[in-house]
Structure 1
Amino acid sequence: MSDTLTSTDIKAATDTERLPQPIPQPLRQATYKTQNNDFIVNEILPLDFTGEGEHLWLHIKKSGINTAYLAKLLSEWAEIPLRDVGYSGLKDRHALTTQWFSLRIPKKQLPNSEFAPVDISDNESVTIIAQHWHHKKLNRGTHRANQFTIILREIEFASNIAATDAKQATEQHLATISKTGVPNYFGPQRFGYEGSNVAEALRLFARPIPASKPKTKKSKRKRAPREQNAMELSAARSLIFNEILAARVRVGNWDNGLAGEVFNLNGSGSIFGSEAIDDALRARMMSGDIHPTGVLWGVSNDKVSGMAAQLESDIVRNDTLLTQLAMGLEQRDVKAQRRALRLPIEALSWEWLDASESNEQALILSFTLTTGSFATSVLASIVQHLQLGPA
């Protein structure tokens, strides 16, 4: 870690509760993940299976167990290398989740016994819901979206809201963000406990870059250093992005374009730049068809220009931590990408739990988010202080 930056500095910089919101949150405090069933995630992966091929796709419901460990258990059961087990994304351990896995089974020679892992505790469960044969492996990032059902417990309303109006004010807030979306911040899980992933990134950047060996015809391809340190590099880029987005939320231009802006076409990875903002672009932004973007820092950030480029550059240059992270990313030849500043919330609905069943206020939220976005960022737009439960 840099001599000029302490662990306290890193902890403060990665505290996502300090990130500004465009409108005040109606809840002062709430707890989530009190139990696994309070946080449900269903992977949305529309796909037509061929019924042929050597890849067995399994739709699995799990609780109390993380994706990577379940992949290991599946590889051991099928007696195949771990590299032959595919999944689209990582799902929370402390949650009830459904997701797809694929297993490459040569000649379709299935194990003699059903999958029933024994190395799990009473608080963990795994159930196969469906299975299909398919002609290819499931790759990372294949699923379109995730559907969430989240229960917020131990709710305390904001002090500026009268008790008699609290529920109505909360529902009005939810109706608003369902139309406007919320800032597309990276969630706290990206940065690790007290910013440990960012601290590791700084340590990585302080080390010399290994000299590359001359390529020969017989030499095998090795993973690039940025692939080997994906967690650290991702945390560095995410922190820079969050600070750029926070600055735009503070001045009120996070959801409308600047000169030189790069826009993202909603629901896709397509982007395009524009030197000036006209009425047609404003109408598309207002309708949610396109979103302004921020940089995931790296080299070749040449699509953005004008005021938008100047804003991003100024934010990084005027912050010691961000400058060190940006330089480290550039030195490792990480290529710049763009990420939407605005996160649309699909199919947002809510329901209050019957207060007569308990002494607490509780709220059930259901919504769908595109791949790569964070449910905690939606919760942060509603709750000032979000507490993680014991689940």
Structure 2
Amino acid sequence: MQAGFQELGYLTQEIPGIGGVIKSKPDDFQVKEIPLYPASGTGEHLYLYIQKQNITTMDLVYQIARQLRISPNDVGYAGRKDSFAVSWQYLSVPATCESSLSEVKIPGVSILSHQKHTNKLRIGHLAGNHFAILIRNIQENAEKNVKDVLDILQRRGVPNYFGEQRFGLQNNTHEIGKAMLLGNHEKTCDTFFQSNCNLESSAIEQAISFYKQKKYQEAMMVLPASFSTEKHLLKMLASGSGCKKAVERIPWKIQKFYVCAYQSFLYNSTLNSRLACLDKIELGDLAVKHPGSAVFLVEDPSLEQKRCDAFEISPSGPIFGHKMIEPKGRQGEMEKQILQEEGITLDSFESFHLKGERRSYRVSLKDVQYEKTQDGLWISFVLPKGCYATVALREIMKAPAFSIPEDEDLE
């Protein structure tokens, strides 16, 4: 099984990348939500169309709630957007807040319009996202390679990997999730405090060193405030609690986040194994119907391949869970082998209430445009919800240290 995101294969391996960097400036990365449905104009909720910069979606939610004097739970959103970007997205608040909107003053945030609707916005209530991204410092004669890569991605699809950001700055959220799933509390704690070259911070390395010496109070003092879960573990350990109690006291939602990262890692591994034929239907596959997530068992591959070529369906991979539908044939055998190698079963996920599902191995890349300018290469495209722009960019750039923060439309 692959060690991590950096080692995953490229669909366009034979075409050299153009290199470059993104997100040199916030407006180098622009993303606009495509709503799943229009606001009706009537109802008990108010949809706000917002432009934001230098603020995360969650910080925006809390600040709007505070200024409108409502609970953060009353603020709905369809997806989370990165702070180091210019984003246009929708939030919902109770319609009773309409008269108070003029009081909302948040740096970097503009409420562009608002309209009433019958229901609150929830995660996933969007059709997709439109991205416009500037790649700077590209190699010479990059345009031909960009064209060749995009031709393949538009014809065959973009590999639907979970992006590198899914696995955290230390690239270990999936390892923590596996340890939690197996109930290995000591391994869970140790993995939180393992050395990692992705974090060049003397304070973090000092905290790790203190942890290994069991100097938990000292480790807690030097660790940055943003490492809240790690600080919780250190506080519990310093008080004399064991690893079991310390891990079990981690908030449930955070524990589930780590186990979901492990699910994502396993899915990426199966996609990587099938990357060369991600647009080929096989006997026993569970094919996903586009658009949507409905699946069916493939019994006649030659018949279904025509639909696959038309991008009506695609083969799917596992988001393992205790109620996940299992494929047959070669795909089914591969998934069973992975579970066996990992020492888990589908039932292992039941304690975390993770039912599992199927995820398409590819997604469509639409409305593609690109233009070379004096600043670099501007590229724009549309991806369905829950998909990572950085995975498409990875195919184009093939940068050796490709690590880009990007928030998710997943939860």
Answering whether residue 397 of structure 2 is matched by residue 383 of structure 1, we say yes
CA contact (8 A) 1:27 1:155 kept: no
Q: CA deviation at 1:271?
A: 1.2
Match of 1:67 in 2: 57
Q: CA deviation at 1:55?
A: 1.4
Match of 2:308 in 1: 285
Match of 2:9 in 1: 20
State the identity as a percent: 27
Q: CA deviation at 1:230?
A: 3.3
Match of 2:181 among 196, 205, 222: 205
Answering whether residue 56 of structure 2 is matched by residue 56 of structure 1, we say no
CA distance in 2 between partners of 1:323 and 1:369 (Å): 35
SS at match of 2:368: strand
CA distance in 2 between partners of 1:29 and 1:287 (Å): 32
CA contact (8 A) 1:35 1:390 kept: no
CA distance in 2 between partners of 1:327 and 1:365 (Å): 43
What does the per-residue CA deviation read over 1:280-303, in whole Å, with 9 as the maximum and x for residues that have no partner?
A: 211111111111000101123334
CA contact (8 A) 1:186 1:238 kept: yes
Change beyond 3 A, Cα 1:389–1:195: closer
SS at match of 1:91: coil
Q: CA deviation at 1:197?
A: 1.9
SS at match of 1:32: coil
CA distance in 1 between partners of 2:110 and 2:353 (Å): 43
- State the TM-score, normalizing by the size of structure 1: 0.79
Change beyond 3 A, Cα 1:203–1:345: same
SS at match of 1:41: strand
Answering whether residue 257 of structure 2 is matched by residue 234 of structure 1, we say no
CA distance in 1 between partners of 2:79 and 2:370 (Å): 26
What does the per-residue CA deviation read over 1:25-80, in whole Å, with 9 as the maximum and x for residues that have no partner?
A: 43252211111111100000053333333312110000111001100011111111
Match of 2:272 in 1: 246
CA contact (8 A) 2:278 2:361 kept: yes
1:290-369 matches, cutoff 5 A: 290-318=313-341, 322-323=342-343, 328-354=348-374, 362-369=376-383
The one-letter code matched in structure 1 to 2:277 is: N
SS at match of 2:40: coil
Change beyond 3 A, Cα 1:75–1:299: same
Q: Which of the pair has the greater relative contact order for Cα pairs under 8 Å at 6+ separation?
A: 1
Change beyond 3 A, Cα 1:331–1:310: farther
1:86-105 matches, cutoff 5 A: 86-105=76-95
SS at match of 2:304: helix
The one-letter code matched in structure 2 to 1:78 is: L
SS at match of 1:130: strand
The one-letter code matched in structure 2 to 1:264 is: V
Match of 1:5 in 2: none
What does the per-residue CA deviation read over 1:315-368, in whole Å, with 9 as the maximum and x for residues that have no partner?
A: 3434xxx446977535545212000001210111111113xxx6xxx2111000
What does the per-residue CA deviation read over 1:164-199, in whole Å, with 9 as the maximum and x for residues that have no partner?
A: x54323322222222221211000111111224223
Kindly report structure 1 stretches of 4+ aligned residues shifted beyond 6 Å: none
Answering whether residue 162 of structure 2 is matched by residue 186 of structure 1, we say yes
CA contact (8 A) 2:293 2:358 kept: no
Report how many aligned residue pairs link the two structures.
339
SS at match of 2:369: strand
Q: CA deviation at 1:207?
A: 3.6
Q: CA deviation at 1:231?
A: 1.5
The one-letter code matched in structure 1 to 2:298 is: S
Answering whether residue 94 of structure 2 is matched by residue 130 of structure 1, we say no
1:258-277 matches, cutoff 5 A: 258-277=282-301
The one-letter code matched in structure 1 to 2:279 is: D
Q: CA deviation at 1:256?
A: 0.7
Match of 2:384 in 1: 370
Aligned-pair Cα RMSD in Å: 2.7
CA contact (8 A) 1:31 1:153 kept: yes
Consecutive unaligned residues in structure 1, runs of 5 or more: 1-8, 157-162, 210-224
The one-letter code matched in structure 2 to 1:265 is: K
- State the TM-score, normalizing by the size of structure 2: 0.76
Match of 1:222 in 2: none
CA distance in 1 between partners of 2:34 and 2:301 (Å): 35
Match of 1:174 in 2: 150
Consecutive unaligned residues in structure 2, runs of 5 or more: 186-250, 407-411
The one-letter code matched in structure 2 to 1:306 is: G
Change beyond 3 A, Cα 1:246–1:208: closer
Match of 2:122 in 1: 139
